[in-house]
């Protein structure tokens, strides 16, 4: 889906290229490089990119990096804050929370706001065992038991497979790892695509509903009939059907991973690097409304986009064009082979029996109020949370400067209520 981070990336890349070009194109002797770059960082090259675990540990929290094997051979990376160093509760049984990112994102997105506002930190300090997932194909999930990322078959997946296999494997893994042993269920939080994959899993494999205590859907994306995003609606007629354009675009990596480019962006935007002001000025020029956590945005540039398959995007565009929440459309001939019908089947969301909380807003271009409420009507057990702020948009669920007060703390309160009500059961 369209992201403001893409625009920022283009600006930063342009600035980096312009700086490099000026250096090599200028007349000999015109630039005193030692005077200009009299900084040790300039002499040791680019730093390695920090991982989610590195960023968590930098704030004093315990952090872990796990690799989980899915049923279909993908190896996905998940990060964990097992307990709070403030509470020292590592010897206590701690409720489990799994948090899942959106499209072209990764686990880094959840910790960008820092320990005062970021949901994983707040959950850990409330006594939870926090796991942050990564869908196949992103920065932390680029491995398979038999396929290389250079093989086209590696990229033949949509968010359908992320839900059915990746999320299912993460849930089972968390429940089978030390603190999880003896626990039967977890809390789940997803943003955007992180909600889509939940709906796909719970409706297609309803036995997983019993493994969910509460589920919190930030900007839930399923039905997309009334979606207002202009780019998706413009691309719909070309990519949302079985056209030549869709065939050319499908089953490949979106914005192919480039280690040098990611390292460059990371170094530009890291707090202790000399070019951090370039990154900050770029963000300031793009966000002047005062709604975004400005401290988090440069780190967002350093970690995003994080990769995905173009089939994930095609699947969403198909949803917008059809108006239905249904499985991937391969075209009548292959649909008959895969599904036994010329049209892909709808997800039976009526089978989602877990306690689902839908958090949605009036100004979300990706998740229209009408579509979220239409989905809610079909869910057996749901709670609707319409944000009071009429300007709250899709990105605010992750990066609003008041996300702690208006979203994270209310979500934790609901989890706490569940835990207290079931502590004696």
State how far the Cα of 105 lies from the Cα of 373, in Å rounded to an integer: 26
Q: Which helix (H) or strand (E) holds 248?
A: helix 244-249
Give the end-to-end CA distance of the chain in Å, rounded to a whole number.
43
State how far the Cα of 4 lies from the Cα of 6, in Å rounded to an integer: 5
Spot the catalytic one: 144, 160, 304, 394.
394
Spot the catalytic one: 125, 355, 364, 396.
364
- Whether 393 is catalytic is no
- Whether 364 is catalytic is yes
State how far the Cα of 251 lies from the Cα of 147, in Å rounded to an integer: 14
- Whether 85 is catalytic is no
Hey, CA dihedral for 195, 201, 202, 208, is it positive or negative?
Answer: negative
**DSSP result, 289-349:** SS-B-TTHHHHHHHH----EEHHHHHHHHHHHHH-S-B-----HHHHHHHHSSSSPPBP-G
Spot the catalytic one: 84, 192, 309, 361.
192
Q: CB atoms < 10 A from the CB of 18, how many?
A: 10
**DSSP result, 52-74:** HHHHHHTTT---EEEEEE-TTSE
Per DSSP, which regions of 133-238 are E strands? 143-144, 186-191, 212-218
Looking at the annotation, which residues are catalytic? 192, 364, 394
């Amino acid at each position: 889906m369209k992201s403001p981070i893409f625009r920022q990336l283009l600006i930063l890349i342009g600035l980096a290229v312009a700086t490099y070009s000026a250096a090599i194109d200028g007349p000999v002797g015109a630039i005193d490089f030692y005077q200009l770059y009299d900084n040790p960082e300039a002499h040791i090259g680019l730093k390695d990119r920090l991982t989610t675990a590195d960023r968590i540990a930098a704030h004093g929290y315990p952090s872990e990096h796990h690799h989980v094997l899915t049923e279909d051979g993908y190896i996905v990376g998940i990060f964990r804050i097992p307990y709070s160093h403030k509470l020292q509760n590592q010897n206590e049984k701690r409720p489990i929370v799994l948090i899942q990112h959106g499209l072209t994102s990764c686990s880094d997105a959840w910790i960008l706001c820092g320990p005062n506002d970021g949901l994983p930190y707040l959950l850990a300090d409330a006594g939870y065992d926090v796991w942050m997932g990564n869908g196949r194909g992103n920065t932390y999930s680029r491995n398979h038991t038999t396929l290389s990322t250079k093989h086209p078959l590696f990229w033949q997946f949509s968010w359908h497979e992320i839900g059915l296999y990746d999320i299912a494997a993460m849930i089972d893994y968390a429940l089978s790892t030390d603190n999880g042993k003896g626990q039967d269920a977890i809390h789940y939080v997803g943003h955007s695509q992180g909600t889509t994959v939940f709906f796909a899993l719970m409706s297609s494999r309803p036995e997983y509903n019993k493994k969910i205590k509460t589920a919190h859907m930030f900007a839930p994306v399923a039905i997309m009939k009334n979606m207002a995003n202009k780019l998706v609606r413009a691309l719909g007629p070309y990519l949302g059907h079985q056209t030549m354009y869709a065939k050319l675009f499908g089953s490949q990596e979106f914005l192919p991973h480039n280690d040098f480019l990611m390292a460059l962006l990371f170094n530009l935007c890291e707090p202790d690097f000399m070019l951090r002001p370039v990154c900050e000025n770029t963000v300031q020029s793009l966000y002047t409304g005062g709604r975004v956590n400005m401290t988090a945005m440069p780190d967002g540039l350093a970690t995003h986009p994080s990769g995905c398959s173009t089939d994930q995007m095609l699947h969403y565009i198909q949803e917008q064009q059809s108006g239905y929440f249904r499985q991937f459309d391969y075209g009548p001939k292959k649909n008959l082979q895969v599904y036994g019908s010329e049209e892909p089947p709808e997800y039976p969301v009526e089978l989602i029996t877990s306690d689902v909380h839908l958090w949605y807003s009036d100004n979300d271009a990706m998740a229209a109020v009408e579509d979220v409420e239409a989905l809610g009507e079909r869910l057996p057990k749901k709670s609707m949370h319409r944000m009071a702020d009429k300007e709250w948009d899709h990105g605010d669920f992750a990066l609003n400067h008041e996300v702690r007060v208006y979203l994270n703390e209310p979500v934790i309160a609901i989890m706490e209520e569940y835990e207290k009500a079931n502590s004696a059961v």
